[in-house]
Structure 1
Amino acid sequence: MSAVKLHIVVAGVLVLCAGCAHRPAPQAQPTPYARPDLEFAGIKFTNRSFHGMETTWRFTLTSRDERPAPLAGCQWRLDLEGREPVEQAAEAPAELPGRDSRQIVVHYALPWPEQAQEIVTFLGRERIPYSLKLTCRIAGPGEPLVVSAGDSGSLPLPRLPTMKVTGANAERFSGQEFRLNFEITLTNENTFKVKVRQIVYRITAEGHLLSEGRLPVEEDIPGNSETSYEISSGMLSAREDPSVGPLLAKPQVSYRLEGEVEFGAFRIPVADEGTVNFPR
């Protein structure tokens, strides 16, 4: 090989090698984060009253990676029967530490009727079915990691107090006069106290109106308890009202006690019935 050709070959090799020296080495791609776990951890009902209630759902987000991962946020959607879906951001930390857990909290205040008597109709539902879905995003190498969890059930509304006749007796004072006496019990099955203003009542026997009136109360019934009150028809006389005379001839009569109980701004209808024996 001539000296000229050898020079050209060597120069070409040098040029190629020079090009190799300036070519950047391929960089290793970051390893994507391991997918974390998102699990439902519980539900709690707070501030329950006849004026509103709040619900808190808790979820646990657990890392399966050694590295801390930036949390791009969490979003929840709540579907309540009879209402439009609600979507909002959840309370969430900015970062999920490696091999650790963080709580994600969802707060929701149930919309409440504004009109007093609408509350009675609303609470008459007793429970509202719901479905909740929480979605969290982990930002990192490659596509964001998306994890979801949910809960479903029914929201227990505050319970309307109930009234029941727990005792009834008849007193005969002569062949022409008598009185019906009742013990009524109001039951509060809620965890909060209930303010009772008054009881408006009407007493009938065998379809005949005997008495009606109001019983002022103005007291609280503690949560998960009951309170009893006494109501009387007052003295009834066949001499003054001949229409009640036939009742005295019967060994027992059927009665009905009905009316309304006033709890602050609203009232609920109540009624109970039974039979009472006349003393001979």
Structure 2
Amino acid sequence: MDPVKSNEVAYEMLPVLRVYKDGRVERYQGTEVVPSSLDPHTGVLSKDIMITPQTNVSARIYLPNNQSIQKLPLIIYFHGGRFCIESAFSPTTHHYLNLLVSKSNVIAVSINYRLAPEHPLPTAYDDSWTALQWVATHFKGEGHEVWLKEHVDFGRVFLVGDSAGANIAHNMAMRAGHEGLVDMEIYGVALVHTYFWGEESIGSEALNMEKKANVDSAWPFVCPSSPSNDDPRINPMAVGAPMLSGLGCTSVLVCVAEKDVFRDRGWLYYETLKRSGWKGIVEIVETQGEDHIFHLRNLSSEKGADLTKCLADFFNS
């Protein structure tokens, strides 16, 4: 191959990744992994399990340091990373879930889905649905994962995600509302700084044109088969999108951050869901003075602790 052509860039999402015309992908963030373990700071124990060997869909499960025989809520967690970086085994995800599981006293299943551009959307959605169905097989004790069979209260199942992971959580709840989940029901969904967008700007989105252009180009890159930013999966409020009244859960918590470029989409989602005829309860919490996924960047911050407590209260209310 011509070495000059092999170095031609097809797409850049800096400082995240670069894709070359010969198909090579260079990721500059979100590639590090850490092993499952007993976390010495929280006492949370984790282990990795394979769900579908053919596609390498897997998960990391977290068990809190709880000696009670009482069964606990289950959170099914979808990591962020623009659908193209990070994993269920990355330090960012792992350290945060140790904290969240400890503070919330819940069981967590962190889903590892395949990433774009090697596996463009809808792969991440399909992988996540497969994992969700696998969890549901444990509802009547038929699954094989002991931690789920022995410790989970399947009357309190929550979908949780940050950024692109929150987008996945929303889309899984919509699919559950239309298709169902082998008798298991989703009680609640927590959407943290959700990756929603649209073709037309709303609110303050156009104030920073460089950031807007970066977000505008991301969805067509990860979902080339449906590149419009008004695809209902990235813009559930778009004209013609399925009604949010079909959301398959009872309770929703929307978390936004004041300085986040996705803030106004979170508020619009909240208002649209309230007016949709959906029968559940939706709440919204805004963190002042903070930007996108600030809580993952500094686990010891006071505002991050407040957000974690808000999530813990939501899981245990």
Q: Given the two structures, how large is their TM-score scaled by the length of structure 2? A: 0.17
Which one has a bigger Cα radius of gyration? 1
Higher helix share: 2
Higher strand share: 1
